[in-house]
Structure 1
Amino acid sequence: MQLTAPEENGPDAGGYVIAPDPKAPRLTRAVTGADQSGEATEIAVVEERPLTIFLNGQEIVTAMTIGDYPDYLAVGFLRNQGMLADGEEITGISYDEELETVVVRTASATTYEEKVKKKTRTSGCAVGTVFGDMMEGLAGVTLPQAELRTSWLYALSQRINTTPSLYLEAGAIHGTVLCKEDRPLVYMEDVGRHNAVDKIAGWMVLEGVSPDDKILYTTGRLTSEMVIKTALMGIPALASRSGFTAWGVEIAREVGLTLVGRLRGKRFVCLAGEDRLVRDADPGSVPDEAKKSGRKGGA
């Protein structure tokens, strides 16, 4: 069975390698109801399905997800939790849609019984899960001292926020985009931003993509979990149209991550890595974001 979405978007899909498909039939459903005037109305609502991830013979976690790209989600989750080491040989990935399970198999044996016991519920919407020693993985992280140009930020913000997406179709969803300079490459969405990040991490692992010159853009808050996952992926810059948490900022400063938030129109705030920010665009030449912009600041 094909694991990735049936219409793997090519580079001709508006420049994206993978872009959202807001019309995909399995991702939303039409639901009827009544509006404020009591009139019948029909809207698209996002689907939410359980997906249980196994590593070899061990059950690791059950995530609530929209159901696309289960292979990328599983591999990315395991990679970001430190359960797949760099260079680990993945010998197979199998997805059973009926049983709602995905199994990742590796050449070497794995045992994570103790790690699985130490779970932490995160602040992510749809309730994210990380494992208690995830912070320990940051000890040896050294991020590239890559520059981040303000012209790239402005171009990415405008492009991403006008890209057709499930959010604009149905709402109730988060997006995360892997970018290089001013070009968005892979745009993933899910009910939790942690899932969207894990899908991108899985794509990078399976496609052998280097993180050194990449930027991660998210529609959600810049929380400790988002910062940790970005750092563990080796990506040197993280940007969002939403705000920060104090712990997220502290961790970003410790690991050398450039952190930019509240990116809307010409405005943004950089709270970590400001020395790597190259101000090559005049904010006065950037139009303000329209008040009726299709995308709001994510929670």
Structure 2
Amino acid sequence: MTEEFLIGPDPDNPRLTQAVEGTDHTGARQTIRVVMERPLTIFLNRQEIVTAMTIGDYPEYLALGFLRNQGMLSDAEAVTGVEYDEELETVIVRTEGETDFEEKLKKKTRTSGCAVGTVFGDMMEGLEGVILPDAELRTSWLYALARKINTAPSLYLEAGAIHGTVLCHGDRPLVYMEDVGRHNAVDKIAGWMLSERVPAADKILYTTGRLTSEMVIKTAMMGIPVLTSRSGFTAWGVEIAREVGLTLIGRMRGKRFICLAGEERLLRDADPDAVGDEDRKHRRKGAGE
């Protein structure tokens, strides 16, 4: 794990990848590392909520963040315990009050996200009245973050087939989570923020995945005012970002990026011509492009 982050990728963790033997285009035998997938069933008190496929790290944060981002757990909710059973592959989040989400669960719909991402039919209701803080964003921060994140050791560089999401403050990356689904990676960060009572108003969220409606909704519901990505946008994602005051930046590669929402908050304090190109060995192709 790099010292750059409070929590960072751990590509040497033997539980996260396994060696698989095959042949390459010439017929030569090759052994490569591939990412592991494990089911994780999340309970809220006595009710089963969802089973997600995940790489298996930070299950408590994933459960807390998923429930928080689905509107089932508020910031003010009194969480009395989070219990992870590795053998049963379950996490139980316990609260002081009783919960009943049977009707809400019936309205669950599949989204465009990878790895069985789901969003509830009334998730948009959580955005009612949401106006994000008018946070300044400096281009010097963007360039510094891209350099630090893209050169950090990661499961992506080790094995591929994975998404990354990073919580940042100014030009400093704080928490870097990876998973087979970008929504899982975001939920882990949301769970960490909820558990550690970390404020969101001055943070930046960086993701390797597409800037879809659900990614924008989750970021807004977390109270984070800036969302950036190496990948592209969807029209609905851009529309929602503009409605809630989210600064939205995509296609961020080297010195290049596109801002489609929140342009008025962007302070261009860095000369793009002074920014070097990415080292080819560290270039990450944004998912979905």
Q: TM-score, normalised by structure 1?
A: 0.95
2:140 alignment counterpart: 151
Structure 1: gaps spanning 5 or more residues: 1-8
**Whole-angstrom distance in 1 between the partners of 2:283 and 2:31:** 19
Counterpart of 1:6 in structure 2 is: none
Alignment partner for residue 113 of structure 1, among 102, 108, 111? 102
Compute the displacement of 1:185 (Å): 0.2
Pick one of 247, 256, 267 that aligns with 2:245. 256
Cα offset for 1:291? 4.5
198, 215, 220: which is aligned to 1:209?
A: 198
Q: Distance in 2 between matches of 1:290 and 1:177?
A: 20
Distance in structure 1 (CA, Å) of the matches to 2:152 and 2:135: 26
| Code of the aligned partner of 1:30 | A
2-structure distance, mates of 1:239, 1:94: 33
Aligned residue number for residue 220 of structure 1 = 209
Instruction: Give the 3-state SS of the residue equivalent to 2:278 in structure 1.
Output: coil
Please give the alpha-carbon distance, in whole angstroms, between the structure 2 residues aligned to 1:47 and 1:292: 23
Name the CA distance, whole Å, in 1 between partners of 2:251 and 2:198: 28
Secondary structure in structure 2 of the residue aligned to 1:76: helix
Decide which of 66, 89, 114 is 1:125's aligned counterpart: 114
Shift >4 Å, 4+ stretches? none
Q: Which residue of 1 is the match for residue 262 of structure 2?
A: 273
Question: Do the aligned partners of 1:150 and 1:277 also contact (CA within 8 Å) in 2?
Answer: yes
Deviation at 1:141, TM superposition (A): 1.2
TM-score with structure 2 setting the length = 0.98
Amino acid at match of 2:190: A
Equivalence map 1:1-299=2 (5 Å): 13-299=2-288
Cα drift, residue 124 of structure 1 = 1.1
CA RMSD between the two structures: 1.0
State the SS of the aligned residue for 1:127.
coil
Aligned residue pairs: how many? 288
AA matched with 1:269: I
**Per-residue deviation, residues 157-187 of structure 1 (Å, max 9, x unmatched):** 1110000000000000000000000000000
Between the two proteins, what is the percent identity of the paired residues?
76
Equivalent position amino acid for 1:161 in 2: N
